[in-house]
Structure 1
Amino acid sequence: MTFDLVAKDPHSKARAGVVHTDHGAIETPIFMPVGTAGTVKAVQQRDLKDDINAQIILGNTYHLYLRPGLEVIGKAGGLHKFNGWDRPILTDSGGYQVYSLSGTRKIKEEGVKFRSHIDGSQHLFSPEGVMDIQRTIGADIIMAFDECTPWPCEYSYAARSLDMTHRWLKRCITRFDGTEGHYGYSQTLFPIVQGSTFKDLRVKSAEFIAEQGREGNAIGGLSVGEPADMMYEMTEIVCDILPKDKPRYLMGVGTPANILENIALGVDMFDCVMPTRNARNGMLFTTQGIMNIANKKWADDFTPIDEELGGYVSTFYSRSYVRHLFHSKEMLGPQIASIHNLTFYLWLVKQARQQILAGTFREWKDRMVKQVMTRL
């Protein structure tokens, strides 16, 4: 994997670039739809390509390891062959799932022992094992195994966790560099900066991660409940330390405003379940603001969901019709909403890229943050 830095905004730290992988190029800044179990919920691969124009999607190591399992994925020829997606894929290491399964796991130096949420069976995730699992899944970009600390947490806990995450990273690198991919194309390992919301720990972690010299780097442990201003402070500290010639991936973020503000701080890559999860509950993001499609005010509104956005779904279906689908509990409603919201997120980062290239990002961003977060 290589990264070309194409342009910088003169009035912020925003960047436009291109990530090159064996499954195609990714223009940054970019939003990556989340396909936890090998599928973006309620969205076909054709829609991801043709309507949403996703350039890269995510899979999750924890979920794919448990179901369908490595034997099935390996026999299929990797996740690309299994789900029919021929563009880049990134896999999370399962570290966040370790964080979320706090009641059924034990963290030790060797790794994490946990019980499956499916059948209660016991498993061990070690740094070496997670590298092997992601080799079998076959993602273009794979993540180091880390611990995502909760917020708030005590400084002493965050410090101990960070040191262990760094030790785990060295083990991940040793295993990754000592093995080969299974399917004839290259894979890239991204380390993850941790440190909770403590400035000195974030600096320590960012410096350690930068020293590893990998092709890209990630920022984890944010968007876990901390105030947005605190997220931005930590992101800025880290981005000022991480190499400028490598892509920076902020994990699990977030709202349209979060994405725009973090682009301004130098982040290149984002993912979040918000557009699809909120879509299934009737929240639609549009170029003019946020609408709850279940509200009565849309009952006789026969205009398209968002004519300015473009795309088949957003311009073909009326607000009234989509509201009817949700009230009738028709599965087509969440499908339309999911495709629409992902179309919006990809539109937003594409617009950001165009503004960076034009040198007008900062002024546009300040206006757009207010516009897209308005409640309609």
Structure 2
Amino acid sequence: MIGDFEIKDEDLAARIGVLETKHGKLETPSFFPVVNPLRNDISIKELNSIGFYNFITNAYILKKNNLLNGNIHNKFEENNIIMTDSGAYQILEYGEISQENKDIVSYQVEIKPDIGVFLDVPTGNTDDWNEAKKSVELTLERGREIIEVIRENQDIIWTHPIQGGPFLDLIEYSSKQASKIPEFKMLALGSPTVFMEKYRYSKLIEMIYTAKSNVSRGIPFHLFGGGVPHLIPFAVALGVDTFDSASYILFARDNRYLTRERTYRLEELDYFPCSCPVCSRYTPKELAEMKSGERSKLLAIHNLWKIREEMNAVKQAIREGRLFEYIQQKAYSHPALYNAFKSILKYSRYLEKYDPRVKGSVKGVLLFNSDSIDRPEILRHVEFMKVFVPKKRNALVICGDKLNSPFILDPKVKSILSKNRGTDVFVALPFYGLIPVSTSESFPMSQFEMPEEVDKLTLEKTVSFIQSFLKDKNYEEIKFIECEKSVLSHVMSINTALG
């Protein structure tokens, strides 16, 4: 049924899903390149050759310039999934436009895109709360006024934009109100572009989280203007399903070259760090010497390849259950991205809530530094240990740096267990704190990799947890074994702290 959204794989709050549209199934996460109907920079066939069989174009521009009457799929390639925007971006850039909401919606009914958007009022980057509130209320009012149109045209997936700009309370209100209208089969966060352009990625993460945490998990979620590859995985980790942007061509016209980690200016490059069809054929110097039109087209094609590569890499990370590690790696590409990553860690409980307990293909977790302590698997282990009920009066802690996993099969541990049958036996490890030997075969207690040299903050947090746990469980006697040469050697000080 049109509008049905089926989730196939999950990792963190991200998912690989399938959205049913009139012109086929759309696998998410997915990127919609913006196609300007007034300019033929990149043809639809060229988009298809890169791997994009879905795109977004502007219903307002089509209507204003009388460029299309009848079904939009007759103008473009039939086998594409087409989304139409409403002119809200033009409002953001130029102020009011010469069309009413009902006119734009009626026009979309006439041209029949797969996904439509009514004419919302973008908040933008205003610092005036009352002005932002007005944009939220007007957008909600415009959404309600087209409900009957939606009911009569259910072959189109209608999208309700969420507004509020930098004001998280307004985003929360807008999200909750929009999600109460069941006729809208897709929700979208509006006005993020101004924050991305200024590298205010932490604010954008807060905006996405606020919106996503106040809407139904089962409805696809779109991010307007999300067009830089390095930011896509962070948004996906919070649950964004689809993106659109004209960044690929706008950057190209400005001689900007996208990679999956950052953006370069063409004149900064002596070599292309890419093997796409453009970069394999030309050098930076050759592109720079071309006429501007030819150069911008080739740069745009390259930029689209990078966006497609990033979408595929993110999906693969979700499929493998390694999205946390992936965004942790990406975070070190730029300080603004690291800020975004640290902002995501503030919502670690939200990520843990949706992160699946069992992951099909993942063989283990990779732990790097203190940031890894906030990954869902470690958080769950900590919660498990908080409710752990002692079975014996005494506890024995083995520092496990040099042990083989699973620990219960290690010869040294077996020997210790045989001599301490009246004792709860734990393995002490960085990141995990304490692992009961009896459960050490459970994922991911024996399926992990960590550095040989663990950072100081991780060790301090680990020791603090061990100390708190042992105090809380009120063991009569606690012994430590194999700790003198451990990276947790200062865990021995716990003995003194416990008296």
2:323 to 361, 370, 376: 361
TM-score by length of 1: 0.81
Unaligned runs of 5+ in 1: 106-113, 115-122
CA shift at 1:262, angstroms? 0.9
- Which amino acid in the other structure matches residue 313 of structure 2? Q
Percent identical pairs in the alignment equals 23
CA shift at 1:223, angstroms? 2.3
What are the equivalent positions in structure 2 for 1:174-213 lying under 5 Å apart?
174-178=148-152, 180=153, 186-213=155-182
What are the equivalent positions in structure 2 for 1:1-376 lying under 5 Å apart?
1-9=3-11, 12-37=12-37, 41-50=40-49, 52-67=50-65, 69=66, 73-74=68-69, 77-84=70-77, 86-102=79-95, 105=96, 114=97, 123-125=98-100, 127-178=101-152, 180=153, 186-213=155-182, 214-225=184-195, 227-287=200-260, 289-295=262-268, 298=270, 301=271, 306-307=274-275, 310=276, 312-325=277-290, 329-371=291-333
Contact 2:228 2:307 in 1 (8 A): no
Q: Alpha carbon RMSD of aligned pairs, Å?
A: 2.3
Contact 1:305 1:318 in 2 (8 A): no
Distance 1:236 1:193, change over 3 A: same
CA shift at 1:278, angstroms? 0.6
Contact 2:260 2:307 in 1 (8 A): no
Say which SS state the counterpart of residue 191 (structure 1) adopts. strand
TM-score by length of 2: 0.62
CA shift at 1:224, angstroms? 2.2
Cα distance in 1 for residues equivalent to 2:156 and 2:20: 12
CA shift at 1:135, angstroms? 1.4
- Which amino acid in the other structure matches residue 134 of structure 2? R
Q: Which has the higher contact order (CA 8 A, sep 6+)?
A: 1
Distance 1:55 1:373, change over 3 A: farther
Larger radius of gyration: 2
Contact 1:305 1:315 in 2 (8 A): no
Say which SS state the counterpart of residue 124 (structure 1) adopts. coil
CA shift at 1:323, angstroms? 2.5
Contact 1:256 1:372 in 2 (8 A): no
Unaligned runs of 5+ in 2: 337-499
Distance 1:278 1:370, change over 3 A: farther
Counterpart residue number, 1:111 = none
Cα distance in 1 for residues equivalent to 2:246 and 2:52: 14
CA shift at 1:7, angstroms? 1.3
- Which amino acid in the other structure matches residue 167 of structure 2? F
**What is the aligned length?**
330
> 1:232-281: per-residue Cα shift (whole Å, max 9, x none)?
10110111122111110011124223222111111011111212111122
Contact 1:38 1:60 in 2 (8 A): no
- Which amino acid in the other structure matches residue 235 of structure 2? N
